Amino acid sequence: MTATVPIDRRMGVLASALNTFARFGYRKTSMEEIARAAQISRPGLYFLFDSKEQLFRAAVAQALEEDVVEVERVMAEQAVPLRDRLLHSFDRWAGRYVGPMTRDIQAVIDENPGLLGDLIDLYPRRFAKSIARAIVGPDGDALTQTLISVSIGIKHQVDEREQYRERFAVALDLLLR
């Protein structure tokens, strides 16, 4: 049972664990390295997380959770223009994981299917719902769908976050009338 452990202790470990997984991939990352990066002993790491697999799941889940919570927060801010809210949200959700360093996170994730269970379906759906809710009008769902497709396409075309932002902004301005 890890539930008795202070939550904030784990969060820092999760962040550096995800980093390490991203750098070397799931297989080639040892618990030793994660522990070192988190400035903790390896048995101490096992005290916080039952297994390497569970640690990986938790690390990815935390990242997804933080991203989607941020998206939900931003999309709810009625004061700022829809266009800016969308750009910020998509950049956070997808643009963040573009580039030589952060791209590997995505690679690790889909090189290890089954390791993550429903997370891979659940969070994207939650993201989509959060976007769709903010877009009013009859074309709301179609627009959301298309924005997501554009985002995925751009991610496969570029390799720098800035390029992602630029291209997505162009698409956004075309799609928002």
Among 153, 159, 160, 162, binds a copy of itself (CB under 8 A): 153
Q: Is 12 in the site for DNA (CB under 7 A)?
A: no
Least distance in Å: CB of 5 to a copy of itself?
39
Cβ–Cβ < 8 Å for 74, 116 = no
CB under 8 A: which stretch of 9-17, 40-48, 97-105, 138-146 binds a copy of itself?
Answer: 138-146
For tokens 């997501």, name the residue.
148
Among 17, 18, 22, 48, binds DNA (CB under 7 A): 48
Q: Is 15 in the site for DNA (CB under 7 A)?
A: no
Q: Is 40 in the site for DNA (CB under 7 A)?
A: yes
65, interface contact from DNA, a copy of itself, none, CB < 5-8 Å by kind: none
Nearest to 67, CA basis, from 144, 150, 134, 127: 127
Nearest to 56, CA basis, from 31, 84, 32, 85: 31
Q: Is 100 exposed, middle or buried (0-12, 13-18, 19+ CB in 10 A)?
A: exposed
Q: Is 141 in the site for DNA (CB under 7 A)?
A: no
Cβ–Cβ < 8 Å for 38, 17 = yes
For tokens 């998206």, name the residue.
71
* Residues touching a copy of itself, count (CB under 8 A): 20
122: tokens are: 């659940």
For tokens 């820092």, name the residue.
12
Among 47, 83, 125, 153, binds DNA (CB under 7 A): 47
CB under 8 A: which stretch of 62-70, 84-92, 98-106, 140-148 binds a copy of itself?
Answer: 140-148
Within 10 angstroms of residue 68's Cβ, the number of other Cβ atoms is 21
> What's the rounded Cα separation, in Å, for the pair 48 and 65?
19
Using CB under 8 A as the criterion, which residues of the chain lie in contact with a copy of itself when the complex forms? 139, 142-143, 145-146, 148-154, 156-157, 167, 170-171, 173-175
Using CB under 7 A as the criterion, which residues of the chain lie in contact with DNA when the complex forms? 4-6, 9, 27-32, 40-44, 46-48, 50-53
